[in-house]
Amino acid sequence: MNDYAPEPQIIILDTGGQYTHLISRKVRELGVYAEVRPSETPASEMANAKGVIVSGGPSSVYEPGSPTMDPALLRSGIAVLGICYGQQLMAYLLDGQVRKGDKGEYGIAHLDIQVQAPIFAGVENHRQVWMSHRDTVFAPPSGYQVLASTSTCAVAAIGNVAARKYAVQFHPEVVHTHEGRKVLHNFLFDICGCSRDWEPASRVPVVENSIREVAGRRNVFFFVSGGVDSTVAYTLCLKALGDERAHGAYVDTGLMREGETEFVRTIFASLGAKNFHVVDARADFLGALRDVTEPERKRHIIGEKFVEIQQRILESGHYLDGDWILGQGTIYPDTIESGGTAKADLIKTHHNRVAGIQKLIDENRIVEPLTQFYKDEVREIGRELGLPPEFLERHPFPGPGLAIRCLCQEADAPLVPTSLGHIAPVHSVGVQGDSRSYRPVLIVDHLDHAKATEAINTDMRVNRVIGVIGSNAPVASLTVFQSAITEERMDRLRRVDAIVRKLSHESGYDRSVWQFPVVLISLGAGAQRDSVVLRPIDSVDGMTAQSVPIPPALHAAMAAQLLAVEGIAAVFQDLTHKPPGTIEWE
């Protein structure tokens, strides 16, 4: 147990799902403290818990080496809820039938409740749920009833009411399951008998104590980005240790947004951070990324370059003796999407989890005050600390900066016409069935999100769909060009990103979305060799997301201004939800 948290009433067993920590987050949102533990944790070590939730995961229960759990838990008196893979695992261990379905089920479905069990108390019938699975339970184990189904999943929920054991194929933890919160509430309070014991803002004194204990007599050197996470984490360190012991530096990588460096200078001056300075490392990063096209390679280079620059700064400031450690604003999603739980499939590498940073972690020379928290909890802590709204209301921005929004190509290539549209050999990262995909994008001539989802499910060659907003040339005539990260392309991306942010803010649209990445892809014609992809999404914490429509008047205004930028051939909107597409393209 964490010394700075209460005894967990709920334990989430991690079978490698990308949503494992999201389950924990949603339980805590309901006021109940939860902890994530390995799926093989012995039942005897969970005897004090009031309930256990078994997560989803990318494996198949019938494959050798797949994640499992202690079968004794299913014979114990502890309440259990299996989710997705968790349902399959419970059924498999109890001799039910689990096998690959006739087809996968990804995205929205509607739940038909057949038995009014306590897990579905107060839940309306035929409500929307979120599915992400290939395997399915074909027959429940002895003693279990089929509680619900969908049009494509005959066993969408099972339960043994007397034993307080339940399982669902859908994901109640994601916002796209409309009554998922009610399902979890029923499990926590009616089935497990939990009491409320968790409020993130109340954790501030505890986190500050944690910082002081980790630091000991050592000082903290913080590399900040100006975003919500690093700002809140640095402020916690300032308050815990004082400005003489908490130093900060902002590295200008040349991969930042227009005006970002000056914004950061102003904000940190307002915090009274006396030992804060800006380091110009633009030439270092742009030089290292020259001719690099593969996204994982980009992230590794950026991560290692950060470590190299950090080392240089630490050496120049005499910070390498035993009196200094490194601070970071790492939060839960940073860890889980990087394969941070024991069996999670790698989706993409975050810059603060590459080898160089891991070495500092292994040497116990790092403090990460926010690793227990999700983004909305971090904002809640920020409000408790009295941070200004311009910090807390900023959209999330990736640590590697605009480098992962400036896509590069190894060679020229034409579009491939299909019955659904045109496939552009511009690859992006996706997440399908909890596993990583890296596939081309499909260009369509509409902005219909439902049709886009159907197209992804129909054509397995792609994991992302973009719709045309405007173009300086017929889409069929566009070509993918060989390209790399250059200062010219980065300046172009900064310019189009600034236009989109300005128009979004002036119209108020930015307040209706969680994040609005702007992506540059090397798709064009003639001298106009780049195109813009708009990626507005709605989410709570980034674990799942829905692509959000742009009002016609706004996307017309955006298209007009973006198509006037030198070198821009076309403007598209990404119509893909997460899953199957990640929020960032790389």
- Which one is catalytic: 21, 171, 555, 577? 171
Both tokens assigned to 219: 């000082």
pLDDT at 363: 82
Q: Give the type of residue at 542.
A: G
Residue 475, classed as helix, strand or coil, is helix
Q: Which of the four CATH numbers 3.30.300.10, 1.10.10.10, 2.40.160.20, 3.40.50.300 does domain 406-574 have?
A: 3.30.300.10
pLDDT at 340: 44
Decide: 550 and 509 in contact? Cβ < 8 Å: yes
- The alpha carbons of the chain give a radius of gyration, in whole angstroms, of 24
- Which one is catalytic: 29, 35, 173, 380? 173
Architecture of domain 10-191 in CATH?
A: 3-Layer(aba) Sandwich (3.40)
Nearest-angstrom CA–CA distance, 225 and 331 = 14
pLDDT at 1: 36
pLDDT at 103: 63
CATH superfamily of the domain spanning 200-401: HUPs (3.40.50.620)
pLDDT at 335: 59
Element containing residue 334 per DSSP (H, E): helix 332-336
- Which one is catalytic: 21, 29, 35, 84? 84
Residue 178, classed as helix, strand or coil, is coil
Cα dihedral 14/15/18/23 (nearest 10) = -40
Cis status of the peptide bond prior to 389, with omega within 30 of 0 = no
Decide: 148 and 112 in contact? Cβ < 8 Å: yes
pLDDT at 2: 46
- What b-and-e string marks burial along 60-77, b requiring 16 or more CB atoms within 10 Å of the CB? ebeeeebbebbeebbebe
Nearest-angstrom CA–CA distance, 437 and 423 = 16
Question: Taking the domains of the chain in order of start, what are their residue ranges?
Answer: 10-191, 200-401, 406-574
Active site residue 406: no
Q: Which position has the token pair 């939060």?
A: 331
Cis status of the peptide bond prior to 579, with omega within 30 of 0 = yes
The sign of the dihedral angle between the CA atoms of 248, 253, 256, 260 is positive
Two domains, one topology: 10-191 and 200-401: yes
Please give the distance of CA 451 from its chain centroid, rounded to a whole number: 24
pLDDT at 5: 66
Please give the distance of CA 255 from its chain centroid, rounded to a whole number: 21
The sign of the dihedral angle between the CA atoms of 304, 428, 177, 58 is negative
Residues of the chain with confidence (pLDDT) below 50? 1-3, 337-340, 347, 351, 353-354
Element containing residue 262 per DSSP (H, E): helix 260-270
Active site residue 192: no
The sign of the dihedral angle between the CA atoms of 548, 552, 557, 563 is positive
pLDDT at 106: 72
Both tokens assigned to 36: 């994530």
Nearest-angstrom CA–CA distance, 49 and 498 = 50
Question: What is the side-by-side strand order in the sheet with 530-534?
Answer: 416-417, 422-432, 435-444, 464-471, 568-574, 530-534, 518-521
pTM: 0.69
